[in-house]
Amino acid sequence: MSNIRLTGILKLSLLSAVLAFTSNVFADPVKAAFVYIGPTGDHGWTYAHHVGVNHLKEVMGDDVIVTEVESVAENSDSERVITSLARKNDIVFTTSFGYMNPTIKVAARYPDIKFEHATGYKQADNVSTYQAKFYEGRHVLGKVAGLMTETNVIGWIASFPIPEVIRDINSAFLAARSVNPDVQMKIVWVSTWYDPGKEADAASALIAQGADVLFQHTDSTAAMTIAEEKGIYAMGQASDMQVYGPNSQLTGIVNHWGPYYVERVQAVLDGTWTSTDTLRGIDEGMIQFSPMRNMPDEVKLTAEMAILDLEFGDVDPFTGPINRQDGSAWLAEGETASIGDLMSMMFYVEGIESKFPD
Partner 1 sequence: MNEGLLIDIIIGISIASVPLIFAAIGELVVERSGVLNLGVEGMMIVGALLGFVVQFHTGNSYLAVLAAVFGGMVIASIFAFLTQFLLTNQVATGLALTLFGLGFSAFVGRAYTEETIQLIASSNIPLLSDIPLVGPLLFSYNPLVYLAFFMVYLVWWFLFKTKQGLILRAIGDNHDAAHAIGHNVIRYRLLAILFGGAMAGIGGAFLSLVQVPIWGEDMTAGRGWIALGLVVFSSWQPFRVILGAILFGGITILQLHAQGFDIRISAQYLSMLPYLATIVILVSLRMGAKNKTNRTMPNCLGRIFHSTT
- Residue 39 binds partner 1, judged by CB under 8 A: yes
Q: Please state, in angstroms and rounded to a whole number, the distance separating the CA atoms of residues 54 and 70.
A: 15
Q: Minimum distance from CB of 36 to partner 1 (Å)?
A: 11
Is 163 a binder of partner 1 (CB under 8 A)? Answer: no
- Which residues, 227 to 286, sit near partner 1 by CB under 8 A? 229, 243-244
Beta bridge partners of 32: 66, 91
Minimum CB separation of residue 239 from partner 1 in Å reads 11
In single-letter form, the type of residue at position 270 comes to D
90 versus 199: smaller Cβ distance to partner 1: 199
Taking the complex as a whole, the smallest distance from the CB of residue 46 to partner 1 amounts, in Å, to 10
Task: Please report whether residue 358 would count as binding partner 1 according to CB under 8 A.
Answer: yes
Instruction: Please report, as residue ranges, which positions from 58 to 117 form the binding site for partner 1 (by CB under 8 A).
Output: 71
Map residue 319 onto helix, strand or coil.
strand
Residue placing its CB nearer to partner 1 in the complex, 1 or 339: 1
Q: Does 320 interact with partner 1 (rule: CB under 8 A)?
A: no
DSSP tag of 239? S
Q: Which is nearer to partner 1, 181 or 197 (CB)?
A: 197
Give the footprint of partner 1 on residues 196-225 (CB under 8 A): 196-202, 204-206, 208-209, 220-222, 225
| Gap between the Cα atoms of 329 and 32, Å rounded | 45
Beta strands in the chain (DSSP E): 2-4, 30-35, 64-69, 91-94, 114-118, 127-132, 153-158, 184-189, 213-216, 233-236, 249-255, 277-280, 287-290, 322-323, 329-331
Q: How many CB atoms lie within 10 A of CB 111?
A: 9
Beta bridge partners of 34: 68, 93
- Establish if 5 lies at the interface with partner 1 (CB under 8 A): yes
- Catalog residues that contact partner 1 under the rule CB under 8 A: 5-10, 38-39, 41-43, 71, 186-192, 194-202, 204-206, 208-209, 220-222, 225-226, 229, 243-244, 353-355, 357-358
